[in-house]
Amino acid sequence: MDARTSRYHDVYTRSMRDPEGFWGEAAQAIDWYQPAKKIFDKDAGIYGRWFTGAVCNTCYNAIDRHVERGRGAQPAIIYDSPVTATKRVITYAQLLDEVKTLAAVLRDFGVQKGDRVILYMPMVPEALVAMYACARLGAIHGVVFGGFAAKELATRIDDAKPKLILSASCGIEVNRVVPYKPLLDTAIELAQAKPEACIILQRPQCDAPLTAGRDHDWASLRDKARAAGKSADCVPVLATDPLYILYTSGTTGIPKGVVRDNGGHMVALTWSMHGLYGVSPGETWWCASDIGWVVGHSYIVYAPLFHGCTSILWEGKPVGTPDAGAFWRCISEHRAVALFTAPTAFRAIKKEDPNGEHIRRHDLSNFRTLFLAGERADPPTVQWAEQHLKKPVIDHWWQTETGWGIAGNPMGLGPLPVKHGSPTVPMPGYDVRIVDEACRELPANTMGSIVIKLPLPPSCLPTLWQQDERFKESYLAEFPGYYKTADAGFKDEDGYLFIMGRTDDIINVAGHRLSTGGMEEVLAGHPDVAECAVIGIADALKGEVPCGFVVLKAGVTRDTAEIEKEIVALVRDKIGPVAAFKLAITVPRLPKTRSGKILRGTMKKIADGEQWSMPATIEDPKVLEEIGGALKQKGVGT
Ligand code: COA
Ligand code: AMP
């Protein structure tokens, strides 16, 4: 890898000097019904909008045009599900047929352009068909990750106010079937905004009772529509119309509805497939995430199909389905050229197969690159993967808000030298700066807040769903003229970025973004809890896991172990198993500053066994000793 032979610097510089020229050219890879009146309109939206006036359809670009141009027989999706022992290949032509039919079903329920449809679905092909069907009609999908509990689903239903909800009878984890229907029913009961109908996919592993008058059987609707020859055409939408809403953790229990548009999303994601990932049309690409996350939206569902690739849909885990060789089996069997996953998956594999023996059992000759994102790629894990795979391991940094990499190593432009611990350099269109509290740029190798100069490039969120003010306040207010990433880090003398952690209360658990503020709201809801604090503590597998400290109300005499168990169950019930909240600790008091601020940062350092110094403003230094003692008793921070 030689910085001199990469086209990166020329391409990046052009994107900064002439963004409209750069993205206008990139837009030629997309089929438009009408081209943009302006590539970038600085007066539209909150900080400007991309491709204003352009008319397009995302589903057409993902599927129809490839069938029209001869890719009909090429696999679009390879469904590989070790948890159900199923494999299924769906060609572009078959996918088009399924999507047209389901879109007709949705249309018969009155779904039109701009209507919201919530999907609470496991990793099955029907989930993708439903996403494309919404895009086909110009309806806005909101996918909710299956590991979230009913209350989280209800919050999203209330915010999106969907006309329809599409769900399945169950999801399947390694060792258990997770019935979805009870969660869906509870969520609808809790929500104010009731959907008109639900369409339920019955899976063989679990039969869900359907609620008369509201629930409909997916397969019968599909079969009836097919028998009647129903089919829906693509509905032209504006490039600036929303394609989807994806909820992500904010600093409170109320998630943020990140809006993704149609046009900018297609342009940026298509560019990324060749520029960043170095993948060609016709090749098989694998992103082992979940469609409930942004990584899954962008790189399982949309980008690979925009680019005419085959996308693997994996319903399994890196370990346990059946073993730590599952990834290599899947890559080799389907001849995947690249894999995109989270570092935590590799930590899990490394733990079970430290010498990489499974890797050597499979033919990985087609495999070129491993891409990691979702959390910091810790150098030991990257080194392990490099050593055993003998292929480039590329960390890249992004957020739900951006929909694609803010920084990465552009394999398609010619890779730059890898520096462990760094996701390399900003991608085209991202003017990334490191600043202090007063928004002054900091010199190289100095930690600060990471901000992006406005405007953000195509695909990045134009706003939060029906919450322009919250968007401005959360992202644009603190550093005027810049988007606040809420990540902290530095740039080195070569312009490489290092992303070191969040500046807010978001933690990253196994590549999943979670709000400790949201968890504190749940803990505070326990009748015996007077005060609480949740912090993320280091975990060898998941990167971080939450740890909750509770102070009980005066007069509570119940067994603390019992209360702690209830608290753990409460978080699982209210937020979901994905929170991985397993540690609640009762303490007599919380460490605070004299002005009453809880010293979460110092508690975290104690829990992680890191060096810490006594904060000058602490109210009572003894409290930190108590915290250290309580953690030790639970076997943490020793
Ligand atoms: N539906 C229901 N429950 C789910 C779920 C889903 N879709 N996804 C996860 N869960 C449950 C898990 O079963 C687990 O439950 P448990 O507490 O009963 O064990 C809990 O949520 C936590 O899940 P997870 O964080 O995935 O942990 P795990 O122990 O099952 O697996 C890893 C650990 C590292 C193997 C796993 O986290 C992994 O593969 N991570 C990849 C991360 C990823 O894809 N991130 C997306 C961004 S790229
Ligand atoms: P999400 O919105 O769920 O994709 O989470 C985004 C957050 O995950 C970022 O703000 C970072 O804190 C973290 N993150 C994602 N990718 C990386 C990476 N490559 N390195 C460091 N942190 C990352």
Helix (H) or strand (E) holding 75: strand 75-81
Nearest-CA residue for atom 4 of ligand 1? 147
CA separation for the pair 247, 223 (Å, rounded) = 32
> 246 pairs with which residues across the strands?
258
Instruction: Tell if the pTM clears 0.85, that is, is over it.
Output: yes
Give residue-wise pLDDT tens across range 335-362.
999 999 999 999 999 999 999 999 999 9
CA separation for the pair 431, 595 (Å, rounded) = 37
Ligand nearest to the CA of 249: 2
Average pLDDT over residues 83-112: 98
Q: Which atom of ligand 2 is nearest to the CA of 372?
A: 19
User: Could you tell which of 461, 484, 513, 544 is best to mutate to test the pocket of ligand 2, judged by most ligand atoms within 8 Å of the CB?
Assistant: 513
Q: Which atom of ligand 1 is nearest to the CA of 123?
A: 7
User: Could you tell which of 375, 396, 507 is best to mutate to test the pocket of ligand 2, judged by most ligand atoms within 8 Å of the CB?
Assistant: 375
- Provide the sign of the torsion angle of the four alpha carbons 607, 608, 611, 612, taken in this order: negative
The torsion angles phi and psi of 372, rounded to 5 degrees, stand at -120, 140
Verify whether ligand 1 is closer than 6 Å to residue 121 (CB atom): no
Residue 3 pLDDT > 70: no
Q: Residue 401 is encoded by which pair of tokens? A: 């808000």
Of the candidates 506, 584, 508, the one whose C-alpha atom is nearest the C-alpha of residue 542 is 508
Q: Which atom of ligand 2 is nearest to the CA of 501?
A: 12
* Average pLDDT score over the chain: 96
Residue 330 pLDDT > 60: yes
Of the candidates 370, 496, 499, the one whose C-alpha atom is nearest the C-alpha of residue 426 is 496
Tell me the pLDDT band of 632, cut-offs 50, 70 and 90: very high
Give residue-wise pLDDT tens across range 465-498.
999 999 999 999 999 999 999 999 999 999 999 9
Ligand nearest to the CA of 374: 2
CA separation for the pair 226, 230 (Å, rounded) = 6
Return the pLDDT at 142.
98
Please report the beta strands in 461-559, taking only residues with DSSP state E, as ranges in sequence order: 482-491, 497-502, 506-509, 512-515, 529-539, 543-552
Of the candidates 148, 145, 184, the one whose C-alpha atom is nearest the C-alpha of residue 167 is 184
DSSP states of 274-289: HHTT---TT-EEEE-S
Size of the chain, expressed as the number of residues it contains? 638
Verify whether ligand 2 is closer than 6 Å to residue 373 (CB atom): yes
In this structure, are strands 512-515 and 506-509 parallel, antiparallel, or unpaired? antiparallel
> What kind of fold does domain 510-633 have according to CATH?
GMP Synthetase; Chain A, domain 3 (3.30.300)
Q: Give 303's contacts (C-beta < 8 A, 6+ positions apart).
A: 269, 270, 272, 273, 404
Average pLDDT over residues 51-55: 98
Residues of the chain within CATH 3.30.300.30 domain(s) are: 510-633
Nearest-CA residue for atom 1 of ligand 1? 147
Residue 638 pLDDT > 70: no
The torsion angles phi and psi of 199, rounded to 5 degrees, stand at -115, 120
CB atoms within 10 A of CB 87: 13
Least confident window among 227-231, 435-439, 553-557, 634-638: 634-638
Q: Residue 426 is encoded by which pair of tokens? A: 């900003």
CA separation for the pair 350, 385 (Å, rounded) = 8
- Provide the sign of the torsion angle of the four alpha carbons 16, 22, 27, 29, taken in this order: negative
Give residue-wise pLDDT tens across range 396-405.
999 999 999 9
- Location of structure tokens 């921070």: 637
SS3 content of the chain, % helix, strand, coil (to 5): 35, 25, 40
Return the pLDDT at 2.
65
Verify whether ligand 2 is closer than 6 Å to residue 499 (CB atom): yes
In this structure, are strands 140-143 and 242-248 parallel, antiparallel, or unpaired? parallel
Residue 254 pLDDT > 70: yes
Domain 3-316+396-489 indexed as CATH 3.40.190.10: no
Give residue-wise pLDDT tens across range 189-207.
999 999 999 999 999 999 9
Q: Residue 563 is encoded by which pair of tokens? A: 């209360």
Nearest-CA residue for atom 24 of ligand 1? 578
Residues of the chain within CATH 3.40.50.12780 domain(s) are: 3-316+396-489
Quick one: three-class SS letters along 580-593?
Answer: CCCEEEECCCCCEE
- Location of structure tokens 């008091």: 589
Give the percent of the chain with pLDDT over 90.
95
Verify whether ligand 2 is closer than 6 Å to residue 487 (CB atom): yes
CB atoms within 10 A of CB 446: 11
CA separation for the pair 98, 88 (Å, rounded) = 14
Q: Which one of 216-220, 602-606, 630-634 scores highest in mean pLDDT?
A: 216-220
Question: Is-cis flag, bond preceding 322, omega within 30?
Answer: yes
Q: Which atom of ligand 1 is nearest to the CA of 288?
A: 44
- Please report, for residues 1, 141, 198, 508, 574, the alpha-carbon distance to residue 109 in angstroms, rounded to integers and kept in the order given: 54, 15, 10, 38, 31
Verify whether ligand 1 is closer than 6 Å to residue 143 (CB atom): no
CA separation for the pair 57, 63 (Å, rounded) = 10
Ligand 1 centroid to residue 579 C-alpha, Å: 9
